[in-house]
């Protein structure tokens, strides 16, 4: 096995327990909110991955003092503003860093350049930029209109009424504007009202944003999912300490292992009171035959021995609310008793890669019959004789590598290309996976 690939043998069983890394969505939101707050914030359980390192490096470049307090702990000394009024920030392929920093720096009255890897420059940011320009922000595209890199300059900001912002491409645009709205309210002395245009996707991620803003002292007045108002005079204040719960999107792989490998698999770090929308994936796999035990800080997943050898029931589901965990569902479709449909997943097109194309291509390699469209994918699972071993391309997308590690409970193994791409959110993924999975060769007769 080389560093460029990892062969995974056919699996017979999965059981044991593991600890989730911190949530990426919560980690990068909390880091920025702590930076924009007055006072020091101790963050415990912070994800240690490429995306959070990008955010930490950017905040330090902007003049924030951030002390390392342990492996997953930092103390952010917030000042409510950025000391550096000029910076060139490389943000990799981290949308959870790029979009919120674009909004925050548009309010910061400095000169900034934001750029990333080539794929980041293919991910749209135009709807956010248009909304920011509507309040006077000076943002210029360095390349193609609507996409990074971006140049940001000082600006005279104003609020003339409700600010329209598109909600049907990425919820990160609304999250970004919400998080910086107190800065705009402070500079203009006005209430800031955001009016969502179109159907807002991925609503649970907006719920995370609103809950975390409230933790830092800013309560948003919400009218359904279309109108959000941040009162004049709002400002962030440190809560003193924040704990980052385990990543619910990453939990989906281990919930799936408990289902496919009978379990029990105990997933520590996220529980019944999680604020993350992807916890709903547990309910989805319950419908597929999993038994889930919900506890305060963990989930336990298993499958009854009496049905362990049966195919999973085919499904037709709308995954708009949990698009990341939906990728795990697409691989589970390989084990279904009929065609499976995943709907309302247009946001897959603008993620770390075009995930609809990538899933279509890689599932087909395994012997599945796959059809797809602008916002859907339909997977007809292979019969036993149709399964094919394959070299799975990962497209520099961490979730492609992790979800296809589940494609080993059929008659053949798979090879994952560029397994190191999991460093984006879960650097130790394959070590944890190996500790839980028993291969067919290892299973006692």
Torsion, Cα of 114, 215, 168, 359 (10° steps): 80
Segment 211-244, tens digit of pLDDT: 999 999 999 999 999 999 999 999 999 999 999 9
Helices 171-188, 24-36: inter-axial angle, 10-degree rounding = 10
Within this chain, domains 5-22+245-439 and 24-243 share the same CATH topology: yes
Q: List the single range of 2-11, 74-83, 393-402 with lowest mean pLDDT.
A: 2-11
| pLDDT score of 2 | 43
Residue tagged 């609809």 (tokens): 356
Spatial distance between the Cα atoms of 311 and 395, rounded to a whole number of angstroms: 29
Mean pLDDT, residues 21-39 taken together = 97
Residue 187 has pLDDT above 80, yes or no: yes
- Going from N- to C-terminal start, the domains of the chain cover 5-22+245-439, 24-243
% of residues, the chain, pLDDT over 90 = 96
Residue 299 has pLDDT above 70, yes or no: yes
> Could you list the active site residues?
324
Q: Residue 308: how many CB atoms within 10 A of its CB?
A: 15
If we measure between CA atoms, which residue out of 61, 147, 92, 4 comes closest to residue 425? 92
The region that residue 263 occupies, defined by phi over 0 for left and psi between -120 and 50 for alpha, beta otherwise, is left
Q: Could you tell me the CA-to-CA distances from 439 to 255, 258, 320, 412 in Å, in that order?
A: 18, 14, 34, 11
How much is the pTM?
0.92
Report whether the peptide linkage leading into residue 58 is cis, meaning its omega lies within 30 degrees of zero.
no
**5-22+245-439 fold:** UDP-n-acetylglucosamine1-carboxyvinyl-transferase; Chain (3.65.10)
Q: Could you tell me the CA-to-CA distances from 341 to 155, 344, 440 in Å, in that order?
A: 47, 10, 30
**24-243 fold:** UDP-n-acetylglucosamine1-carboxyvinyl-transferase; Chain (3.65.10)
Mean pLDDT, residues 160-172 taken together = 94
Mean pLDDT, residues 412-427 taken together = 96
On average, the pLDDT of the chain sits at 95
Residue 54's pLDDT band, with cuts at 50, 70 and 90, is: very high
Main-chain dihedrals φ then ψ at residue 125, nearest 5 degrees: -135, 5
| pLDDT score of 358 | 98
Segment 60-93, tens digit of pLDDT: 999 999 999 888 999 999 999 999 999 999 999 9
| pLDDT score of 445 | 42
| pLDDT score of 308 | 76
Spatial distance between the Cα atoms of 221 and 210, rounded to a whole number of angstroms: 10
Residue 444 has pLDDT above 90, yes or no: no
């Amino acid at each position: 096995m080389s560093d460029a690939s990892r062969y995974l043998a056919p699996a017979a069983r999965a059981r044991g327990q593991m600890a989730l890394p911190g949530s990426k969505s919560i980690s990068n939101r909390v880091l920025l909110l702590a930076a924009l707050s007055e006072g020091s914030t101790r963050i415990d359980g912070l994800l240690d991955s490429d995306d959070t390192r990008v955010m930490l490096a950017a905040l330090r470049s902007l003049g924030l003092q951030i002390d390392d307090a342990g492996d997953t702990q930092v103390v952010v000394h917030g000042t409510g503003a950025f000391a550096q009024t000029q910076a060139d920030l490389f943000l990799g392929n981290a949308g959870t860093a790029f979009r919120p920093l674009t909004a925050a720096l548009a309010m910061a009255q400095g000169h900034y350049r934001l750029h990333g890897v080539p794929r980041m420059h293919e991910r749209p940011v135009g709807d956010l930029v248009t909304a920011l320009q509507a309040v006077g922000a000076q943002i210029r595209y360095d390349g193609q209109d609507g996409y990074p890199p971006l140049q940001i300059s000082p600006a005279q900001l104003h609020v003339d009424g409700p600010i329209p912002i598109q909600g049907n491409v990425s919820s990160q645009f609304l999250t970004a504007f919400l998080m910086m709205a107190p800065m705009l309210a402070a500079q203009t002395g006005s209430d800031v009202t955001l009016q969502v245009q179109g159907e807002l996707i991925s609503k649970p991620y907006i719920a995370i944003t609103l809950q975390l803003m409230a933790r830092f002292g800013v309560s948003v007045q919400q009218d359904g999912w279309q109108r959000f108002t941040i009162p004049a005079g709002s400002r962030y204040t440190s809560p003193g300490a924040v704990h980052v719960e385990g990543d619910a999107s990453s939990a989906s792989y281990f919930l799936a292992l408990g289902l496919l490998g009978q379990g029990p698999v105990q997933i520590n770090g996220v529980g019944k009171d999680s604020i993350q929308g992807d916890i709903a994936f547990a309910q989805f796999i319950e419908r597929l035959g999993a038994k889930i035990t919900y506890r305060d800080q963990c989930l336990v997943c298993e499958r009854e021995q009496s049905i362990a050898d049966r195919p999973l029931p085919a499904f037709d589901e709308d995954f708009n609310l949990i698009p990341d965990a939906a990728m795990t569902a697409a691989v589970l479709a390989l084990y279904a008793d009929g065609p499976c449909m995943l709907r309302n997943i247009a946001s897959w097109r603008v993620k770390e890669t075009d995930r609809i194309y990538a899933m279509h291509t890689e599932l087909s390699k395994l012997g599945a019959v796959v059809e797809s469209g602008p916002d859907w994918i339909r997977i007809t699972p292979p019969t036993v004789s149709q399964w094919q071993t394959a070299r799975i391309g990962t497209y520099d997308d961490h979730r492609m590598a992790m979800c296809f590690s589940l494609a080993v409970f059929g008659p053949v193994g798979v090879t994952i290309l560029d397994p190191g791409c999991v460093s984006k959110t879960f650097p130790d993924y394959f070590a944890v996976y190996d500790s839980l999975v028993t291969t067919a060769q290892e299973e006692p007769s």
